[in-house]
Amino acid sequence: MPQWVPIIILGIGNVGRALTRQIVDLRALHTERLRARLEIVALADSDGAIFQPGGLQDAELDAILRAKAQGARLRDGELGAPLGDLLGLVDVAVDDGAIVVDLTASDTTIPALESALDQGYGAVTANKLPLAADLATYRRLTDHRRFRWEATVGAGLPVIATLQNLILTGDEVIRIEGALSGTLGFLASQLEAGAPFSAAVREAKQRGYTEPDPRQDLGGLDAARKALILGRMSGLPLELSDVVIESLYPAAMNSLTVDEFLDALPALDQQYAQRVAEAKATGLTLRYAAEVSESGARVGFQALPPDHRLARVRSSDSIVIFQTARYNENPLVVSGRGAGAVNTAAGVLGDILSLIA
């Protein structure tokens, strides 16, 4: 008889829907290879939830996914109800071995994650905010053996697992470099090809690479949170305020609406055209890169030689370069598609399966 694994999913946006679909579509594989059946017993969005102690049927999940893709709220569905609080949802009695999955973009999930772990549940997150909170919170979460966070850096790429293996096998991290933002990687490639900065941002937004408000990407905070996580894993006692961040727009533009911000971007076109031209004049390429070392962490544009691994990254791919005592002259590299709902969901699913394998 397959092991019954209750799953509670917090956040049913693009990644949450992709994960739900993967769980349903891979039932036969998981039953055959792992003797396990993942049963989604609860779903939550921003103000609603669905809870079925015996697990939601596949037909019910299909209907929920269709409704959510059309913008519906869980609370308005046949099985839905208003969400009191996430902590209450997680604290509902379920069988031992439950796994709570955080696919939100909010730090309000921290108490729910901590409660789940304290009760002996597993917890998996693709949400960077809990791990980029204060250092004490980071340590409380990551000290639990049943906590996983692979998809916080590099979507489905094995960045976190690689770093953990290096550290746990006694290697010493000297430097980590990375192109950690698929959005900013695409932007840099567009600038290199001659596109104006404003046009490149609009193109990225139209393709769905940016958040609805592109400033959330262009401010560099997303890349900074990823660098912070890698730095903390490497043993650096960093707070987010310690990370040096280069924003790609002036702070005065924060007061604008999204449409006003997009309309104001052409004022920055000349500035970035000049930076690209100056880099090309010296044979270099601009890339938005992260760097972590014993001196701290920083994210921002760097002018790199064309043979540098980061300079060879194109479009929305990601790459992380680990220079360690063991991999010194020839660093260890993890690269590939580092963005997208399907890839991120696969990284989350891999974490879930690691807790039951």
Is 335 within 8 Å of 279 (Cβ atoms)?
A: no
By residue count, the chain amounts to 357
Please give the Cα distance from 159 to 322 (Å, whole number): 10
Find out whether 23 and 17 touch, Cβ atoms under 8 Å: no
Q: In what helix (H) or strand (E) does residue 138 lie, and over which residues does it extend?
A: helix 135-142
C-alpha–C-alpha distance, residues 221 and 211, integer Å:
12
Structure tokens at 228: 């912070």
Catalytic residue (choose from 68, 205, 226, 280)? 226
Residues 6+ apart with CB under 8 A from 300: 220, 244, 245, 246, 288, 289
Contact 22, 346 (CB under 8 A): yes
Among candidates 192, 176, 203, 209, which has minimal Cα distance to 312? 192
Closest CA to 22 of 356, 355, 350: 350
Instruction: Tell me if residue 106 falls in helix, strand or coil.
Output: coil
Which residues fall within 8 angstroms of residue 312, CB to CB, at 6 or more apart?
A: 306
Give whole-number Cα distances, 221 to 17, 102, 265, 308, in Å. Answer: 25, 20, 19, 24
CA distance 154 to 37: 27
Assess contact for 222 and 128: CB atoms under 8 A. yes
SS3 131: coil
Give the Cα separation of 180 and 104 in Å (integer): 19
Q: What is the edge-to-edge ordering of all strands in the sheet holding 81-82? A: 81-82, 48-51, 36-44, 3-10, 99-102, 122-125, 147-148
Respond yes or no: is residue 280 known to be catalytic: no
Residues known to be catalytic: 226
